[in-house]
Structure 1
């Protein structure tokens, strides 16, 4: 969508409870072109003024970008109350599968709308000043429905919205490295695209993987493709590996892979394009001479030898047992003289064929460039049939048992039915004596089994067998080696069974010696392993913390200690010591994702030579800073650079040699923990939540052991990556208590406030910040996590919170909170800081819970723990107090389902009496946590029993 291209009125929907309203007028953009604009100028910011676009189709994109062009009048140039004047406005969006928005639906409030950002002007219009335009690009998503509406909320601004452009990014179709990749819309930070090889290219190997490449979120292809596509034989890569071109006439390329086509060698030639060789023609006039089961083949030279003199011939043999049936390779039983391949002459003798069997022989001519021909060598084929009454080779000779002086042998009976076996003859020789006189013996047998006796102990014998028919004896089969057993005493010792043959050259004493040595080595390894286990177990009992994985414990050296950068005479020295300087050319900023105390927070890419490119979060120091602001900004890097732990945000480096000054940290895809939990309300199991809490506690344990006090531990300062790993962040400036205030908060030197509700009472009263005060804050974080991002102490004022804590009030358990976890929270909120657990105790307690997940099924009851009137922050609900179904859903924070309830006919509270889980599924309530919350609320209202519902929700 681009409002600059609209030629008629936009007719967007406006909403306001007081004048003025957004007004559509014609205006001029930055190029003085006429455009349709919306303007508003409020006298005060006490009310909200809304403007909503028409439905925008998302067209398959999961995230889109909104480019805003606007002007803003400076507050000091307006005749209005300065405190109510704003120089910002809010941007929201609302997803829908239908274009059903009206003047009253959806409700004009942040929920059901999703907030994108508060947009601030970089350039303000002043009286007599230069006219400057603001351009902001924001990202919104993930998008899952057919389309969405954009909504703008002004609360005291005087501005003109000149144009709105909505777009998404995609990677164009691409051909690279002989691979073709389709046009790809990124669904995440990096989207994998699957391609295919270009024409006349393929991937080698039996199970090739398709080419892959990654499409970045910015619509740019990332790095090089992962592919093994190579040009086929007869083709070469061209145009920078964009295609595979056929070899010209007179050239060839034998195999797949890189490399150009080659000119046919001297006196060779190919008459077509795409040749893999320069071959000769077929041999001519093969002449067979069959003698029972042997064959002699002769042939003449090819008419065309490719102009070469290095001709050789190959013989291919295939056996066709049944007429017209399939033919199979002949196998190893057929013998050739002089050879089967690379025959220099034009004659070959073949024997070992089966009787009464049809064979197909192909004589192939080759020269020096036709070994990998695409069409195969040129060949001439001939079929012959052997005589019916000739013995065949006997196969399958094998041993049944063996003793010191005998071998019992067995072999396969030939299965052909057109001849009869009269007798078998065995020939067996001592292998060590070779062809000496009396070393070989013969034995006849009428069946396919024989016992060879009077043999030498522990001796190898070569045995062959042949069959006799009416046509006489056939050839001996392949020789097989068997071995008699050694002494009977060794056989009975338990090392070797009596009927085992040893068909290798190693002697039995060596084998026994090897077995004894192996058993001794195994026993030694077991003893050493047991000793190491006992030592480690003893050390674990002495100091269980020595096994911590944070890597900071060094044997005999204690633990690394945090160094305050403000103790340095020159704070820049601390920055140089603890933070690595990165060249600005290694960093590419992609988009702004937020605003920090000192400037914008961006997402970008970091590519250091020799290392893999990765995403980073980039904090920038806005222009016009003082030396003190620069030192304060970089102090966070000098603090963070001292930490190395999997649950502490990792510092990649800093950029101070150019503007703007930047701090680079690892990028956490899911952002802050509190907003992430609210976005995924009810979607995680208790064991997953405990895993998150364990990670946070492990990070804090590491910080406390380094003698570092965080002072601002809250879910908003915990970041979550794509693997749900939680990491402690925000190691910013020291903070002081703002005095003489009706709503005391901790405030940094630049005005960033930290709510009282996370702070331990001794830190509020006496500014006593210790690891124990961090433990108190951790208990609040536990409550935030188990309530899926609920605000601690709800809507109580800071002063009410301080008063309540002084009167021993503590937060009640969130819904479905395991009893054990709420008790751990109460332990963290002990008034005496010395009574609170240490972070090492918390990690151990959570580890026990993870090992025993059944304990998480015992849930805390509301009202458990210290009691206080302020406990009743959640007003009792009754059918009368709710009024409508919409009021009730909003009261239990399930307003996202209001439309589904109303469309299904649930228009009054009494109609909810008999609603079931199946009904909720039909209404689109698929999350188990949301189902339980709705059904529990209905039960608490007392509708089902038709009794007044004065029970606490």
Structure 2
């Protein structure tokens, strides 16, 4: 019977009721129309009805019922209405429905209707629709409403990917994988589209992947707004770099303004630059013998905003009086030293010029954006000179005041000064050809002598120095040699027999400048062809054979300052009044490094560093010593130690360099630890990278780069030194003797294995130097020996980031430590990266606490390579924090195991107020805890070797119905759980050892990360009482686990013996099992429900177990599932406690 009415909200409703309770064998049906199931496979039917209590109906005791039945029938189309049609198709029964509450006659009088609601599920359905039918068998029931629905995950946008509405699957535990579509102006990873999983309850779960805004767009909510962005990998758009603009919205790059450009190597994020202006203050000097034009200039006033400025020379030869238009290129005859194009030096020399000609030389400044016009001389400075025989020597190059040659020209600071002051200049020799005597001529040697140009006894007569140049006749332009001596006589050896040589002499004495003078008229000497006795030794002099003009010029720059300081240096203190003890830097292998002062005419005293070579050194050691000066004289860079000169006369030999008041960089950093912030430390690195870039572009390999070879000036300017003293000089023993540091700490793998040096090996060493700087001069690899370092590096170990080291800087270090030299960055790239880091550092989120560090290769290495400490005091001394030794002892932290369990709060309770010291201690505690865990884990692993165990991850998959993308649904059996019990047992043992849980010392549970905080969140009293209770519960669980394992094994043995007689179900009846096994089964069900409900947690747990590092679980990247930081931390804590057999339960 259909009845119309209204509900409590006055809305019209239709109800169907039946109450044929007095007649037996009732069979009344109500059928719905055809219902399309749409996309649903699992359909829910919600019924609202009322039902009268049969006892309240008189005379209906035998025929009245209090239930009714519900059926459904799947069809492809509407069957129409009527019981015969439905009944003929065999509908399926859904359920028999009974009322929770029934009403009586009294309720009718009070107009109280007790409404019941029941929900039933049908499916999975496969046809297009279905009918519902309700069967009455003799009840007094009213059907108020029927609601039919299915569950679906609503359409949503997540991670810039749109997911359509998706119906839930039929199986309760099955997830539907749905691929997302990237929204407009965004794109996904190639081959890995974003996807999510629709759960059975209509909720989206387990997002995988996401979309990123396309180039030119940035994310704002769930849409993208365009401006300028280079790559989809960048999250935000950026403003256009300097001197550039975006021509349209959604730009992927910015176009340079007029007159500005980018070089092909510049990234789109680089500022636009322009060509430089012309060089400034071009000066020249023309010498007659040999005919050479020397040029010097200053950098351009405008570099164009770039640092890659180079210089190019153009030589034009013009007629004697002709106009400039009659000029023509000089041709290949003219030589340029060091080169014609690509010059980074601001000096050059032109050789092989023709006499009687006019030359115009243009010097152009170029950079990375200079075009062909600039290269041809669009921005240049020029000079015009004449080489005619009647023209006087020309000069437009003011020289600095010449150094003085006197006993106190170079002395120790504070020493007594006495002696002559005679300017060091070279004077044209006033000799005629017949005044040079041929004292002895042999097949391989010639001895010459001449009169002194200054009368004996006159000031400077004993300080005159002579330069002798000789060459084979006709070969002066190809090769010649020079000899310097302090006496008016010389013996030249190593000559060819039966060869005619040309000799020229000039003297150093008061007179015009060096460049304006020439050698005396030459004399020729023919060596005899007959064999002669062995050649005599030369007089005390420095002899350098010059194969090329370029080498001569380098030597000339090296010898530009000559001064004498007669005091032998050795490993001892040294005597005399020449120096004070504190002015001696240190002894080195061949002599001393001292502080001195250089007096130049017209200038104040210049503090210098004097490297001396002690007496008794071998010739090879002398050559190595002078080779360093020769090498250093080639360089002109603000971050390379400047050579002031060399002293070769007398003993000892000396190399004079600029004075760096703060000494070596590593010692400077250790002395000022705590006084410099990370930004200041990073500010030291770009200059060093610039110097190494300069060296690599010159083709020079340092071979021995380390922080101890970087010197610091009074202005905190770092400069590279130590040229010529790298590992090729068998330096390992020397470094170990002097500083206890092996070159293996800085050497690249290819250098250690094959002895191969290159710019790439210098890059490796520079990475270690960056680590030293950020670690305040700490020794790389701590107290590991050289052999341990070599093995660790071969195994893939890399230094972890020092505290307060920005993660981008440590990533750059790791790039420098790539095993393949070809994968390491070049110094030009390193310099650019460091410069950008300094100019635009990342904002620090951890100014007062230690920064979290991403997982590094350090976590994968065995801890046997780390330093071992015998006591807490030794550990504190290694951290340079031994001042807190008494505090640790007084608080009861007398063992390293106890220290390994300390937290940040414990350090505060010790009264350690310095945040920086707490950071250092926490970092040391982390490494110490890892060491303790490693040692304790070794015993557990030894116990577990008796029987092989499945990984817990695989055991979980076999035991529990784990929902994984590739694995589907497993049916768990007790047999499948046997390996799990064994694996969990082993895992619990490892956990117990790793966390140092001792039942007789329950407070050791403090080792669990943030356990007290977690208890506080659960509103529990975080104290020893609670910890004791948790410890007791853990102990009980461990004992139950052991008991359960033994009982389960017993059950399996029984089943295997009697499987043919009884089934597994019979064996597992509660009556056949001990209480422990029954508890175990219940426990397994709890775990199964827990993991089914916590899919995300299980995913993290699997990964942590797979890594084999329980402690590393705290470093799980929250980016996996796009959850917040708080959610991530909560999840980590849940997992840690879940592994500990669900202590939080």
TM-score, length of structure 2 as denominator length: 0.31
Q: Which structure dedicates a bigger proportion of its chain to helix?
A: 2
Q: Which structure dedicates a bigger proportion of its chain to strand?
A: 1
Structure having the higher Rg: 2
TM-score, length of structure 1 as denominator length: 0.37
